[in-house]
Amino acid sequence: MSARHCLLVLLVLLTGCAGSLPPATHSGAETAVLTDDSFLSSQSRQRLAEANGQSGYYLLDSGQDAFLYRAAMIEAAEHRIDAQYYIWNRDDSGLHLAGRLLMAADRGVQVRLLLDDFNAEGIGELFASLDTHPNIHIRIFNPARNRSGWGRWVSFLMDFQRINRRMHNKTFVVDGAAGIVGGRNIGDEYFGFDESRYFRDRDVLALGPVVEGMADNFQAYWSSRWAYPASDLYASAPADTELAETMEGLRQQVIAQPRLPVSAPTGAEQGRSELAKAFNRMTIAPGELVFDPPPENMDAPSETPKRSALALQRLAQTATREILIESAYLILAKEQLQALGANERPQLEVAALTNSLASNDLVTNHAGYARWRPYMLEQGINIYELKPNAEACRQWLSEDAFCATGEVSLHSKSVVFDRSTLVVGSFNVNLRSIYLNGETVLVIHSAELAERVAADIRLTMAPGNSWEVALEEDGDLQWRSGEAEFTSEPTVDWWRRAKSGFLSWLPIEKYL
């Protein structure tokens, strides 16, 4: 048999191993029915009574606050919790929050959880067990044909176009009245609980009309034909004894709060008290929630910028003085840079903060950025790369021990336009977010909040926290931090540089 025939046979076998997706069993027409008599609804009405259609916002800059307010919202929930995430880790914080959802369901709250499938392998079966609770409904977005092992990766390869359409949106809505949106997934490294890495990130706790947009975002994906009930994907239900042990183990994660460095509020009274503190400090301002609807056809060409990207493009084109970008993964190619036209607007400063090779958790993503880094510099963008041992760690975390031994990475996705408009969401300023992922961005027209985040970004760009990247006349790059200068990616070994350098030659940046 020829090599060509062998390859064809192998592909057929692999396709057979990949299996097929079962048809989704939900009708797609389900909508949330909520009453307007909850604590959170009452808080929204009272605090926004004279807001003239504006919303209230409270920045969640620290991982600890992000964890505590999610826990508080679960405790305050009376009717429904709708949570939508790209990643939900099976670690201490992930299991703890899952246990809180279970206990909310025990007291009659309807819980709907929507999880993207790309990172679901480690926790999918646990959520399938939760899905057996009468008040918990879990769906998996755009699942692979196989659920585990090497067959799962074969599924990814055989369905490459479809699998690249990910639900990257992150929203958390309680009783249709209060919501959290931003860049954080659910996991120890996002909340400052991991011992080795902290993902610096930003969320917004909100009341008002923008929460309706978050609810619409969730409902669009929940009703999508690509959102599969967990029971369809994990058909073999655990034995009653095993299921009971799983449920009780999750409840104990809440009761004992093992290994968590903070004590979260427990019970409705404590949850409401914590939330009231944030509501008292909210900024009232106009805003809008922009999200990318789920694709109808996963195999359609992905050559057109999505709704969230176009919203950011419009804001960028109307900026006159300054655009500050904070993006964990940064890739702007020719089309985006030409539309931005920074070189043609000398009065406009565009500065971007992103990860260095040393702080980036993904060498592949850094390689895609490195491929376009010289061109971005040529087009007038000032670039700063985060140090893994940034001095600001001690401002972001209260754990001095971590800052002495752990590493920080940038995971936030924020943009400030002319110190008057702030955008916070799941949108990385890169090609994947522009063309492929479903994303959510909250646009806030508030000079107060824009100035606050701009100051934070500028602080992180300072020499104690980041390297400034410069393009020399001969085309070489230089990294500067105070008087220190480097002619190659700082503080990483040759092998990590070599991997990034090799991958940067590959034209795969759209998929990173």
Residues identified as active-site: 168, 170, 175, 411, 413, 418
Asked if 309 and 433 touch (Cβ cutoff 8 Å), the reply is yes
Closest-CA residue to 434 (of 326, 315, 302): 302
Beta-carbon contacts of residue 472 (< 8 Å; ≥ 6 apart)? 478
Name the token pair of 60: 């969640």
Q: Which residue bears the tokens 């239900």?
A: 237
Name the helix (H) or strand (E) containing 417: strand 413-417
Asked if 86 and 184 touch (Cβ cutoff 8 Å), the reply is no
- By CB atoms closer than 10 A (0-12, 13-18, 19+), residue 511 is middle
The secondary structure of the chain in percent helix, strand, coil, rounded to multiples of 5, reads: 40, 20, 40
Alpha-carbon distances, residue 226 vs 177, 275, 304, 307 (angstroms): 27, 34, 21, 19
Name the token pair of 273: 């008290």
Q: From the CB of residue 462, how many other CB atoms can be counted at a distance below 10 Å?
A: 15
Torsion angle defined by CA atoms of residues 242, 245, 250 and 254, in that order, rounded to the nearest 10 degrees: 180
DSSP symbol at 308: H
